[in-house]
Each structure stands twice: as structure tokens, then as C-alpha cells.
Amino acid sequence: MRAPVHCTVALLATTLYSLAAAAQEDLRPTPGQSTFSIFVQLSLVGTEEISVDEVDGGWRISSTGRVSGPLDLAIRRFEMRYNDAWQPQALSIDAVLAGQPYGVQTTFTDTSAASEILEAGEARTKSDPISAGAVVLPTNFFASYEALATRLSAASPGTAIPAYIAPQAEIVVRLNTTTEQRIATADGTIEAHRHHVTFLNRGNPFDAEIWSDAGRRLVRISMPTIGLDIARQDIVSLSARQQAVRNPRDEDEHIGASGFNLAATITLPAPGAETDDDDPEWPAVILVPGSGSVDRDETHSGVPVYGQLAGGLSDAGFLVVRYDKRGIGQSGGRVESARLSDYAGDVRSVVRYLRDRDDVDDQRIAVVGHDESGWIAMLAAREERRIAALGLLAAPSTRGADFVIEQQAQTLAQLDLPEAERAEKIELQQRIHAAVMRGGGWEGIPLTMRAQAETPWFRSYLEFWPADIIQDLRQPMVVVHGGLDRQIVPGHADRLAEMGQARDRQVATELLRFEALNHLLIPAVTGEVDEYDTLEDKTVSAELIAALAGRLHEMMPPRR
């Protein structure tokens, strides 16, 4: 869970954060206490009790907490003080890290941070230059992000906020854009602000999301690249659900699975959609949730991919189901031991639910997966004969271990790193894969990386091979891809189509490519990930939805 090494970087063409402007905005968060849950790769590993208080001359952010696993961090007391202008004054950390006392005492001036550090039984001192008004973010002490959430709540896109990663060095956090997010809970609706930021580390920048509420308080931290998610407990509870989009014919439902319920939204077909008799039985589409802690709307960079697909497909005459993955949002179940096959079992539970509905034709049920959920859709289709058609949207085609390396290589290619350093990172990843798959050989691999990788899900992911699954599929299949997809490049669609067409069975496989669309299935300019937040049009292509609907209707004709 330790963040990458941080170094000072150039600010390029960003707007420097102004303390004077901040003061004019009256940055006064709502004082109070809150509890945060800490997740690594969807597994709950700890909690942190955070308090924000107004004190004489400024603000005090404090916390206690416990994180289990290889990190083994106990926070006896964390305290960070800022003055009224949000200039850092003092940092105090009293903790136990991996069974050893860990402490940091830092005092600040306008230009420097002087620290006394106790780590692994050794005491040392350190002094670093910092910018006036830097926000202080010591690694793994998430209470500190309360100050960043407050700053971001008043910042405009392009703003660069200096951040001191105590006691290491100063970096920059750049605000790319802010989107609005409504979260329904048992106690009401939280109007949240979802700040899409980039941590500009030298040679290793990464994107993250920092959420704040109307009281300028922290709601959530999401760092997908390192599998880290910290969320306030009022939005973690099963009663909470993010509402990215609501279609006019949406109905909420709970679907029984293996000992728990899946929270789902059913989008009914549009009025006037034709059926063959007076007692309509609709064709149905199940949208399979993807990797990570994504919501049932599959919202990425402000684009509710599944929410919009559900609306468009229902307009075309389908009853559409989208649901929260087990252990996420309002769905029950646990993720610690879940494999790809378990998630495929959840899809089959949704199929059984649809078969029992009087308004669904149980011989016309399709499953559609976007990105890596295409693999789960494949597994479900192999095991469930009631699935009549398969849709793969921007899905990968290679063996899981190869795909992880490909993704890492793509990321490293965009960074200003020496070739030797890139090769070293790839070699480390390959050693992690080998250790996961043979169940040993973790020597020399950081404990935090082992904790993230040594899970049943990751092993099933590394071992997954689409060609083996597709060969066994009996269903017709439509493969859809954007020509500007830079996350999962279009060549994957070509390979999936070839696998489908090479099946022993005489069954249709069709390839649909839309040259102007990116990975999120929306119009793009370059298709690069860093472009997502800047695109004005965040609507899934109507042309793509119409083509997908048409192919599914052809592949699942009504009974005569």
C-alpha cells in the first residue's frame, strides 16, 4: 500500500494554487468525526477514525486506525495542523509499522519542512524545501486527505496544488476536472463532488479520484492503478448506491444468488416496442459488471457506460439488467475468495431470475460484457445453456498473464523512464505472476505487492485463456470495439473474432468496429486515457447501441 517514490516535478502549463484565492473562498470544512474503510483489491484491510476540528488560529485533522495484512500499521495518533489560511504548521505521527515504532514530528515554515523521524528503531532528521501552502500527505495516513478534499472543493480544472509527501519530498496534485455524483443512502442523498486528479510524480504519474461532499469533507479516495480504495462508511454500507444515471423505466430489484442478494436495476422496454402477441415476452440483456469497485452503471470518468447502454437497449425492445457486483454497492457477498468463475456464477443467478419472470422470453437472454467483464460473460455463456447470445465490448483476447504485462508495458511507454528501468519493472511483474501461479517464490518481492497479488481472483485472472472458452461456446457472438481504444487496442477484437469464427460449431461471430470511439465507447480525439476527463461529449455512441441491438435481435429471433 505504500505509494510510489515521490519527487518534485515541473508544473508545466497548470495553474498554481493560490492561498489568497483559497482564503477568499472561505475554506471552512464542516467539523466532525467520520469512519473510513480501507480496501486493497476490494478486500477490507482496515479502518481509520478521522476527526476535523476548528481550533484557535486554524484547523486540526487527527485520526487513529488499524490496517492489517503485510503492512501491519497501527495508528496510535495522527495529527496535522493548518492555520486559517491552510498553511501547514505541524505534523505528528505516533504509529507501529510492521511491529516497529514509527514516528514523524515535522514543523513547517513558508519554505521548509523539518522532520524528526523514527523508523525501524533508527532516529534521523531531515529537512525538505516546500511551497507555501502545500497540503501534507504522509503515505498511508489517509486522514491527511481531508485537507486535499477541502482544497479541491474550491479549485477549478487545471489547478496544481503542491503536496508534501511527508517526510519524503514535494510533488504536485493537478485537478483535471470535477464531476457531480449523487449517492443515495438510508439517511438521504449525498451530493458529492468527484475530483479527477493526477499525482505528478517524476517518472510515475498516476490518476486518482478524491471525493468531497457539500461540507468540503472527504468522502472517498480511489487509486485504481494501485488497487487502493478508501471510503467513508456511510457510502460503504449496503444501503448506499451511487446514482450516475436514472432511466425513465428503471426499477430496482434484489436478485438471489449463492447465499446473498445482488442489487440490480431492471430497465423495462420502451412503450410501443413490438412483440409477437398480446402477452409480451421480451428478449433480455444482462450487463455483466467489470473489474474493480465499479458501480452497476459502470461509471468511468463521468461516463455511465452501462447506465446509458441500458437506456438505449431498452429503447430497442430489450429488458435490461445491470447489477452491483458481489460485495460492491448494495450487493451482498464477499470478494476475498471470489474467482472469475464465481462472478460467472452470479451471472447465471441473474439468468435464473429472468427465466422466472413472466415478461421475459427465456430463450432470448443475452449477456454483454465490457472490458474484462467480457471474460466473465464468456464463462457464464459456456456453463449456462439458457444464454442465447454473447456480446463482447472492448474485451481483451490474450491470456490473463500476458494481458497484464501488455497493460503495464503500455503504461511504462508513456513515462519518461530509462529502458533498463522499464525492463526491471516488467521483470518484477513476471516474477509476481510466477509466484502467484505456483504458490511460492515471493523472495525479493515487496510485501505490499504480494498482498495485492496473492488472491484467488488474481490467480484465476492470470490463468484465463479466452481461446479455450470461446472454442466451447455454442452461442452466436458479436465483438464490438472502438478504433481509438488505447486501453485495450483494437487488435484484441480481431483476435476474438478469429477465435469465434474458428469454432467447430456452425455459429455466427460478427465484428463491429467504430473508428471514432474510444474505450468508453464515446467519441474521442486521441483515445488516450488522459483525454477522458476533458471530453465534452460523454454519451455512449447511439450508432454503436443501435448496431449492437440489431445484431442481438438477429441472433435471438422470436419464436414463431
For residue 90, what are the β-bridge partners? Answer: 81, 107
Q: What pLDDT is attached to residue 374?
A: 97
pLDDT in tens, 194-219: 999 999 887 678 889 999 999 999 99
Structure confidence at residue 4 as a pLDDT band (50, 70, 90): very low
Tally of domains in the chain: 3
Residue 1 binned pLDDT confidence (cut-offs 50, 70, 90): very low
413 by Cβ neighbours in 10 Å (0-12 / 13-18 / 19+) ranks as: exposed
Asked, for residue 127, whether it belongs to a domain, the answer is yes
The confidence score (pLDDT) of residue 302 equals 81
C-alpha cell at 308: 446509458
CA distances from 461 to 315, 352, 375, 402, 465 (A): 34, 25, 9, 10, 9
In a domain, 224, yes or no: yes
Give the lowest-confidence range in 147-161, 180-194, 343-357, 383-397. Answer: 180-194
**Span 472-482, average pLDDT:** 97
For residues 2-25, give the mean pLDDT. 38
In the chain, % of residues over pLDDT 90? 62
Which range is least confidently modeled, 83-92, 147-156, 244-253, 394-403? 244-253
Do 391 and 326 share a structural domain? Answer: yes
Q: What is the pLDDT of residue 5?
A: 30
Last-in-domain residue among 413, 438, 458:
458
Q: What DSSP letter does each residue of 420-462 carry, written as one string? A: HHHHHHHHHHHHHHHHHHHT---TTS-HHHHHHH-SHHHHHHH
For residue 420, give every residue at least 6 positions away whose Cβ sits within 8 Å of its Cβ, in sequence order, or none. Answer: none
Residues 337 and 278 in one domain: yes
Do 95 and 187 share a structural domain? Answer: yes
Assigned domain for 347 exists: yes
pLDDT score, position 291: 72
Domain membership of residue 6 (yes or no) is: no
Q: Is residue 3 part of a domain?
A: no
Same domain, yes or no: 228 and 319: no
pLDDT of residue 13: 31
Is 50 exceeded by the pLDDT of residue 3? no
Residues 390 and 306 in one domain: yes
Question: Quick check: 280 pLDDT over 50?
Answer: yes
Query: Are 522 and 442 found together in one domain?
Result: no
Sign of torsion over alpha carbons 536, 314, 287, 485: negative
Instruction: Give yes or no: residues 442 and 526 share one domain.
Output: no
Helices (H), 369-514: 373-383, 400-413, 419-438, 447-453, 456-463, 466-472, 491-501
Report the predicted TM-score, pTM, of the whole model to 2 decimal places: 0.67
Q: Which of 30-44, 87-101, 346-360 has the least mean pLDDT?
A: 30-44
Structural domain for 544, as ranges: 244-398+465-555
Residue 473 belongs to domain with CATH number:
3.40.50.1820
